[in-house]
Structure formats: C-alpha cells, structure tokens
C-alpha cells in the first residue's frame, strides 16, 4: 500500500531522515518505533504529503505522491484518516461537530440528518455515543483520543495514520485504545501506520514493526522476528522498555 524509497529530509543543518526505505503492506498494521526526536512524526507527515522530501519517493497505492498537483492531492487525501497525538480537536466545536468536520469540508455534506446519523454511527464504534453533545474540555484524555479516532474514520478511509496514540494514557486506557485500533482494522480492513515509542502497545497490535534510528530504518519484521533482532539499537530499546516476548518484565 505504501512505499518509502530512499527518503531524505533536512531542516537547515539538521538531517532528520537519511535514506528511509520501508514497505507498508496493504490491510496490515505497521508500527514504527523509535525514541522521541528521531523523526517519526516527520516521516508520518511525508506519507500524507504535509512535508515534501529533499530526495526520495513516496508511493501510496501505486501513486507517486510528489507528482500530485494541489487539487489531485486534496482528492487523494480522502483516502487517509489521521489520529493526531493530542487528538487535535477543535475546542470551540462539540464532539458531534468535530467528527462531522471532514464530512462537511471534504464532501460538502449539508444534510443534517445524514451527517448526524453518520457521526453517531462512528461514535458508537468507539464507544462514545453518549458524549455526542459534549465539548472537548469535558472529555478525558482517552475520550479525546476516541473522538479523534471517530473523526479519522468518518470518511471510511483506506489508510489510517496514528501519531503516538497511547502517549500520556494510563495502562488501562492505552490497552483500550489498542483494542480500538484492532477493531478498526477488523471492521474496515484498512492499512494502519502507527508511530510510537510504546513497545508493549506495538507488540499488542502490530503485524509489522520497524525501528527508526539515526534517520534510517534499521530493523523491520513481524513482532516475534523483531524481538529476535541482534541490532544493538533494537536490543537496547527493548532492554530499556523491559520487554521480553512482548511483555514488560521489571
């Protein structure tokens, strides 16, 4: 579904991506792990072409993203849903209005009955139908993430991008978000890309795990294969997280 080929990106003198190569399979969950500040979010923004690479190629569903013109890009982005790190809800809008936003903006859907029905259905999928009239300030961190996920799936995209979906959440809420990600995968058969430094969460949901380090993908494989990696950065990352066979051991 997604191919990243020799991707390079610098901001001034800071080299963030230094030749990223990664294939993301269709209909699977790929988790990109790495410490904070390694360029994971920058990589995610390249996939949806919020950022252009200095060099390299990004193909999504066979389409080279760098060659799309503005109108074509806007149309193509309808294939994506994105859950931002802090959910990025509009504070002045209700939960219903936040989830409806892509419908109104991208599809110009103006029928209030149809919009309300679609929004309620998506909120039911994330277990938040009762919060439809609440404001974001009335929600917990986990609830905000779930509203963000409802907004991400409201257009029923082919690809969902997750930016640190479990960051700042307690273990129980984080596990609930992981279960929602798996549920979305099963319900919509989407291709999911998750960037995270949460190793336990990664092994809970991933079909494929990749490690971004020093601007490159240094390891990629199924969770069990990833844990058997002899790459020193992977070993150190797993050791620091106290992870053995996908479980935390302290």
DSSP string, 57-105: EEEETTEEGGG--HHHHHHHGGGEEEE-TTTT--TTS-HHHHHHHHHHH
Question: Residue 240 gets which letter from DSSP?
Answer: H
**226 Ramachandran zone, left/alpha/beta (phi>0; psi -120 to 50):** alpha
Query: How many CB atoms neighbour CB 179 within 10 A?
Result: 12
CA angle 4, 6, 10 (to 5 degrees): 100
Q: Could you give all domains of the chain from N- to C-terminal order, each with its CATH number? A: 2-248 (3.40.50.300)
d(C-alpha 202, C-alpha 200), whole Å: 5
d(C-alpha 110, C-alpha 70), whole Å: 24
Q: What is the pLDDT along the chain (250 residues), one digit of tens a residue?
A: 999 999 999 999 999 999 999 999 999 999 999 888 889 999 999 999 999 999 999 999 999 998 999 989 988 988 999 988 777 899 999 999 999 998 888 776 677 888 899 999 999 988 889 999 999 999 998 899 889 999 999 988 999 999 988 888 888 888 988 998 998 888 889 999 999 988 889 999 999 999 999 999 999 999 999 999 999 999 988 888 766 665 555 4
CB 192 within 8 A of CB 31: no
pLDDT for residue 248:
52
Element at 4 (helix H, strand E): strand 2-11
- 62 Cβ contact list (under 8 Å, min separation 6): none
Say what the pTM is. Answer: 0.89
């Amino acid at each position: 579904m997604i191919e990243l080929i020799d991707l390079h990106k610098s901001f001034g003198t800071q080299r963030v991506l230094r030749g990223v190569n990664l294939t993301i399979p269709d209909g699977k969950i790929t988790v990109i792990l790495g410490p904070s500040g390694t360029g994971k979010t920058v990589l995610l923004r390249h996939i949806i072409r919020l950022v252009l690479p200095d060099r390299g190629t990004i193909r999504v569903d066979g389409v080279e993203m760098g060659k799309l013109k503005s109108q074509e890009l806007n149309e193509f982005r309808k294939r994506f849903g994105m859950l931002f790190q802090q959910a990025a809800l509009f504070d002045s809008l209700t939960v219903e209005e936040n989830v409806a936003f892509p419908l109104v903006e991208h599809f110009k859907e103006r029928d209030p009955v149809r919009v309300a029905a679609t929004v309620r259905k998506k909120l039911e999928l994330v277990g938040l139908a009762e919060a439809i009239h609440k404001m974001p300030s009335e929600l917990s961190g986990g609830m905000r993430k779930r509203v963000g996920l409802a907004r991400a799936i409201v257009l029923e995209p082919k690809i969902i991008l997750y930016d640190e979906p479990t960051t700042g959440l307690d273990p129980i809420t984080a596990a609930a978000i992981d279960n929602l990600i798996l549920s979305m995968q099963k319900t919509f058969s989407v291709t999911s890309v998750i960037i995270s430094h949460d190793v336990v969460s990664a092994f809970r949901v991933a079909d494929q795990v990749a490690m971004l380090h020093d601007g490159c993908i240094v390891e990629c494989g199924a969770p069990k294969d990833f844990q058997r990696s002899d790459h020193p950065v992977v070993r150190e990352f797993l050791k620091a997280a106290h992870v053995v066979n996908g479980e935390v051991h302290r």
